[in-house]
Amino acid sequence: MIKILIADDSAFMRKVLSDLFAAQPDFEVVGTAINGRDAIEKVKQYDPDLLTMDVQMPVMDGLNALAVIMEIHPMPVVMLSSLTKEGTDETIRALSLGAVDFISKAGGSISRIDTIEADILAKCRAAAKANVRSAVAGARAAERAEKEREKKKTASPVMRHIDLPRHAAHEAPKEPPERQPSPFASAKRENPLLKPRSKVFMPHSTSSAEAAQPTAGGGKLVAIGTSTGGPQALQSVITRLPKDLPCGVVVVQHMPPGFTKSLAQRLDSLSAVHVKEAEDGDIIRSGCVYIAPGNYHMRVSGSGGARKIVLGQDPPVGNHRPAVNVLFDSVAPIGRRLVAVIMTGMGSDGTEGMKKIKAEGGYSIAQDESTSVVYGMPKSVVDAGLADEIRPVTDIARAIVAAVER
């Protein structure tokens, strides 16, 4: 039995959703909340298995409530959001904060709930199985370990006292030599969560000479596939990538149309690398991340250095468009110059493509169980013996950089 709490400022919506779930044999409605603050208190009171929560509510909105809940009582949350531009941006923020999934309100309302009942129930049943609490605990533990490693690296070295020879009495002290700039002076430590002041994308047209030049890094490429829990995982990984990453990155995140652009824009605002929603014909450049648009398969064409994005709307593969397997199939011929990453998500999308990648000599990294919201896609790859490395989400960026530099 799934114990569910419903948070919505609309009495009508609370009633409609309560009736829907109460009619199901596997749900128990343990309570309702009228705003974000009330939701926090009810979560503490009822300890539900699942929370559905509207984004826009008075007193405290759903986003602020979600941030608090993920801090004090991590649990599966499904957000209700409109299909407006503002609603899309809010949904991406919610997913980045840890929400497992979202339900779109067509036209800003789901008063015609009969048209999306099946979608609501399917998403809520799947979300209830998400490994949110342990994933948050695992990510926090990995982050503490990461900070400890950085602390040890930056610890001040022990200074030794050295007696320097004194100048002879008859000899005037020499002028100190002109200070030479340190070869490391330009290597400033950058905060990966801060967006550079200027990010300029070259046009994706192949008409410019620069666009036709091979990508740096020996023609290497990074391909990432993810699904449920992906926006938060992608934020953890992409914000840790250095802006001088010597290759491009292509990403498939299972997501419907209209949301991938907001996801790319949010990640771009937080990252040192460039992040954009991929367009057909984009030339893949070093230090740039390309996210497949919703409802389009993404492939990579070309060999050697000059590679480009090819988008298509051929039939879904495994009920997914974009599909990770489609992307992985297209990049498998890159062979030893490819680094493929599979992260949190339901099902097994990406496993068949990873088999081809490994057959061609590519390198693979899988997210570990402890930090995966849903350990489905990574588990499938790991169980098939296809993972060269299994890493917590906070270590994946470091593993990518190390693999690219080999």
**How many structural domains comprise the chain?**
2
Average pLDDT over residues 280-290: 97
Question: What pLDDT is recorded for position 304?
Answer: 52
On whether residue 31 sits in a domain, the answer given is yes
Q: Do 224 and 114 share a domain, yes or no?
A: no
Please identify which of the residues 254, 274, 297, 320 carries the catalytic annotation: 254
Per the annotation, the verdict on 167 as an active-site residue is no
Question: What pLDDT is recorded for position 180?
Answer: 43
- Rounded Cα distance, 314 and 322, in Å: 10
- Rounded Cα distance, 163 and 180, in Å: 23
Q: Do 28 and 126 share a domain, yes or no?
A: yes
Amino acid at 81: S
On whether residue 144 sits in a domain, the answer given is no
For residues 293, 296, 302, 305, the Cα torsion angle rounded to the nearest 10 degrees is: 10
- Rounded Cα distance, 221 and 245, in Å: 10
Q: What is the pLDDT of residues 216-229, one digit of tens each?
A: 445 899 999 999 99
CA distances from 121 to 2, 117, 175, 274 (A): 11, 6, 80, 37
Range of the domain at 242: 206-405
Q: Do 235 and 105 share a domain, yes or no?
A: no
User: Rounded to an integer, what is the distance from CA 116 to the centroid of its chain?
Assistant: 27
Give the CATH number, domain containing residue 269: 3.40.50.180
Q: Do 128 and 211 share a domain, yes or no?
A: no
Asked whether residue 153 carries a pLDDT value surpassing 90, the answer given is: no
Average pLDDT over residues 135-156: 73
Domain closes at, from 94, 114, 134 = 134
On whether residue 234 sits in a domain, the answer given is yes
**Which residues are bridge partners to 320 per DSSP?**
317
- Rounded Cα distance, 297 and 342, in Å: 17
Per the annotation, the verdict on 349 as an active-site residue is yes
Residue that is written with structure tokens 């991938």 in the block: 260
Asked whether residue 192 carries a pLDDT value surpassing 60, the answer given is: no
On whether residue 257 sits in a domain, the answer given is yes
Domain closes at, from 134, 156, 172 = 134
| CA angle, residues 55, 228, 329, in degrees to nearest 5 | 140
Q: What is the pLDDT of residues 105-127, one digit of tens each?
A: 655 455 566 678 888 999 999 99
Nearest CA to 238 out of 224, 228, 227, 259 is that of 224
User: Using omega within 30 degrees of 0 as the cis cutoff, is the peptide bond preceding 181 cis?
Assistant: no
Q: Do 268 and 375 share a domain, yes or no?
A: yes
On whether residue 220 sits in a domain, the answer given is yes
On whether residue 184 sits in a domain, the answer given is no
Q: Do 220 and 111 share a domain, yes or no?
A: no
Domain closes at, from 90, 108, 134 = 134
Across 129-133, 137-141, 377-381, which has the greatest mean pLDDT? 377-381
Q: Which has the minimum average pLDDT: 50-54, 107-111, 278-282, 386-390?
A: 107-111
Strands 308-312 and 77-82 come out as unpaired
Please identify which of the residues 227, 236, 271, 348 carries the catalytic annotation: 227
User: In whole numbers, what is the pLDDT of the chain averaged over residues?
Assistant: 85
Q: Do 245 and 350 share a domain, yes or no?
A: yes
Per the annotation, the verdict on 49 as an active-site residue is no
Residue 168: helix, strand or coil by DSSP? coil
Q: Which has the minimum average pLDDT: 167-181, 276-290, 349-363?
A: 167-181
Question: What pLDDT is recorded for position 199?
Answer: 54
Please identify which of the residues 349, 364, 372, 395 carries the catalytic annotation: 349
Strands 77-82 and 389-391 come out as unpaired
Amino acid at 372: S
H helices, E strands: number in the chain: 13, 14
Question: What pLDDT is recorded for position 81?
Answer: 81
On whether residue 297 sits in a domain, the answer given is yes
Give the CATH number, domain containing residue 17: 3.40.50.2300
Q: Do 21 and 125 share a domain, yes or no?
A: yes
Q: Do 269 and 366 share a domain, yes or no?
A: yes
On whether residue 61 sits in a domain, the answer given is yes
Question: What pLDDT is recorded for position 314?
Answer: 96
Q: Do 222 and 119 share a domain, yes or no?
A: no
If one compares 206 and 340, the residue with the highest pLDDT of the two is 340
- Classify residue 134 by burial, with Cβ atoms within 10 Å: 0-12, 13-18, 19+: middle
Q: Do 363 and 223 share a domain, yes or no?
A: yes
Q: Do 106 and 11 share a domain, yes or no?
A: yes
